[in-house]
Amino acid sequence: MHTYVQDVHRHVGEEVTIKGWLYNKTNKGKLRFLLVRDGTGTIQSVVFKKAVSPEAFEAADSATQESSIAVTGVVRQDDRAPGGFELDASDCRIIQLADEYPITPKEHGTAFLMENRHLWLRSSKQHAILRIRHEIIRAVRDFFDDNGFVLVDTPILTPAACEGTTTLFEIDYFGERSFLSQSGQLYNEATCMSVGKTYCFGPTFRAEKSKTRRHLMEFWMVEPEVAWAELDDVMVLAENFVSFIVQRVLERRQEELKVLERDTSGLERVIPPFPRISYAEAFDILEKHGTETPRGADFGGTDETVISSQFDRPVMVHRYPKDVKAFYMEPDPEDAELALCVDMLAPEGYGEIIGGSQRIHDHDLLLRRIKEHDLPVEAFKWYLDLRKYGSVPHGGFGMGIERVVSWICKLDHVRETIPFPRMLYRMYP
């Protein structure tokens, strides 16, 4: 009977068939130890020459790394075995004998691994990352679904820019200019006026012309938007959300975190309330550490690292100067030069994982900002309409999944957080 490795504990003493790929093999006299992985786990099968047919032994003997194989045998509990179980093989079949596998246990360079990303995904570390990414996405959906948010999908092809015009991917839309979406936010603002609390979750695109360990050209962003929400509400939502995700991963993905050798003590502290500081306070910290960034400018990656390293959990920096932020942000009633916005910076040097704000809900102010930012008013007509028909204060944020995966898994680079990264000068595979 075909059984998945994760289920063998229910079949001790029974004969099962494991279908998978050969991860590793050791030979010892008349014994072949096959380490087989099937996506749900790995198990060692012991193939004893005298216990199987000559063909089966030949198969076990000749199987190469990553050959697809089916091993039949009786499940034996063995506390010394990784995973606690072994298979005493009675049969072994090769489905496809793998060519010499390019990825071996020795260290490979990043360029080589990226070139072989389609195969690299099978290694234990990448496998653990894929599983944690999935868990994070599941937690994202559970959080919003269980808190009264309605998932409303926003378009990928859009006629207007949301996050500035410098990072747009342009598409010829039957002779008309259109762009790959940088964010679903503007559409969320329309749909939250229908359903109250909404979120969208999909791929977003930014032609980022710089190489950093935090930027991808294509990344997945989840964006909640709430009618009647002000900046404080957005911050409370953001901290509860991030805490929920981290605690969920700790609860369900201990094994994968172990594979990644992630010290989880920092993650265990990710419980609200998170510290909140203003841009001005953040800048005081930077000045003490001797930044080159002039006061009033946006933070660089190093600045974010310095700020976030002052805190033992994510920190929320609010009220940046409006000039370094997007056109749609509500001005601070106390100081119109500041925007009612918030960035959440992850600890351990990871920097911005969330960007959000309260949105301008006054029609004339929004129109003025669109013009100040040289955006085509025509393309924003529908967006301005939202301020004509029952406008209310509202706000939300966007969280990049890959940045969060990178932090939770403590990776050096965002390229390992997404199955097939799209980066500057890399589209293959």
Q: For binding to ligand 4AD (CB under 6 A), which residues are involved? A: 162-163, 183, 185, 206, 208, 215-216, 219, 221, 223, 352-356, 396-400, 402-403
Q: Closest CB to ligand 4AD among 36 and 162?
A: 162
> What does the DSSP assignment read for 47-87?
EEGGGS-HHHHHHHHHPPTT-EEEEEEEEEE-TTSTTSEEE
Q: Closest CB to ligand 4AD among 219 and 274?
A: 219
When CB distances are held under 5 to 8 angstroms depending on the partner's kind, the choice from Mg ion, ligand 4AD, none that residue 400 binds is ligand 4AD
Instruction: From 244, 245, 162, 252, select the one nearest 204 (Cα to Cα).
Output: 162
Q: Which residue sits closest to ligand 4AD, CB atoms considered?
A: 355
Closest separation in Å from C-beta 288 to Mg ion: 24
Angstrom distance (rounded) from CA 394 to CA 230? 6
Closest separation in Å from C-beta 425 to ligand 4AD: 15
When CB distances are held under 5 to 8 angstroms depending on the partner's kind, the choice from ligand 4AD, Mg ion, none that residue 163 binds is ligand 4AD
Closest separation in Å from C-beta 192 to ligand 4AD: 11
Q: Closest CB to Mg ion among 88 and 208?
A: 208
Angstrom distance (rounded) from CA 223 to CA 118? 29
Applying CB under 5 A, the residues found at the interface with Mg ion are 355
Instruction: From 151, 327, 165, select the one nearest 223 (Cα to Cα).
Output: 151
Q: How far is CA 39 from the centre of its chain?
A: 20
Among all chains, which residue has been given the structure tokens 């953040």?
282
Instruction: From 173, 5, 154, select the one nearest 87 (Cα to Cα).
Output: 5
Angstrom distance (rounded) from CA 116 to CA 360? 46
In this structure, the dihedral spanned by the alpha carbons of residues 277, 236, 404 and 396, taken in order and rounded to 10 degrees, is -100
Tokens representing residue 60 in the block: 């076990």
Closest separation in Å from C-beta 343 to Mg ion: 6
Q: Closest CB to ligand 4AD among 92 and 326?
A: 326
Tokens representing residue 87 in the block: 């298979």
Q: Which residue sits closest to Mg ion, CB atoms considered?
A: 355
For residue 206, give the 3-state DSSP assignment: coil
Q: Closest CB to Mg ion among 135 and 343?
A: 343
Among all chains, which residue has been given the structure tokens 């992630």?
262
Closest separation in Å from C-beta 168 to Mg ion: 16
Q: Closest CB to Mg ion among 164 and 275?
A: 164
Closest separation in Å from C-beta 345 to Mg ion: 10
When CB distances are held under 5 to 8 angstroms depending on the partner's kind, the choice from ligand 4AD, Mg ion, none that residue 162 binds is ligand 4AD
Q: What is the DSSP letter of 273?
A: P
Closest separation in Å from C-beta 382 to ligand 4AD: 17
Say if strands 85-96 and 68-77 run parallel, antiparallel, or are unpaired: antiparallel
When CB distances are held under 5 to 8 angstroms depending on the partner's kind, the choice from Mg ion, ligand 4AD, none that residue 215 binds is ligand 4AD
When CB distances are held under 5 to 8 angstroms depending on the partner's kind, the choice from Mg ion, ligand 4AD, none that residue 244 binds is none
Angstrom distance (rounded) from CA 16 to CA 8? 8
Instruction: From 252, 244, 250, 274, select the one nearest 264 (Cα to Cα).
Output: 250
Closest separation in Å from C-beta 114 to ligand 4AD: 16
Whole-angstrom Cα Rg for the chain: 26
Q: Closest CB to ligand 4AD among 387 and 394?
A: 394
Angstrom distance (rounded) from CA 225 to CA 150? 10
Closest separation in Å from C-beta 354 to ligand 4AD: 5
When CB distances are held under 5 to 8 angstroms depending on the partner's kind, the choice from ligand 4AD, Mg ion, none that residue 342 binds is none
When CB distances are held under 5 to 8 angstroms depending on the partner's kind, the choice from ligand 4AD, Mg ion, none that residue 219 binds is ligand 4AD
Q: What are phi and psi of 427, to 5 degrees?
A: -120, -15
Please, are residues 206 and 215 in contact by the beta-carbon 8 Å criterion? yes
When CB distances are held under 5 to 8 angstroms depending on the partner's kind, the choice from Mg ion, ligand 4AD, none that residue 20 binds is none
Closest separation in Å from C-beta 10 to ligand 4AD: 41
Q: Closest CB to Mg ion among 41 and 355?
A: 355
Q: What is the DSSP letter of 35?
A: E
When CB distances are held under 5 to 8 angstroms depending on the partner's kind, the choice from Mg ion, ligand 4AD, none that residue 206 binds is ligand 4AD
Q: Closest CB to ligand 4AD among 73 and 400?
A: 400
- CB count, 10 Å around CB of 363? 14
When CB distances are held under 5 to 8 angstroms depending on the partner's kind, the choice from ligand 4AD, Mg ion, none that residue 256 binds is none
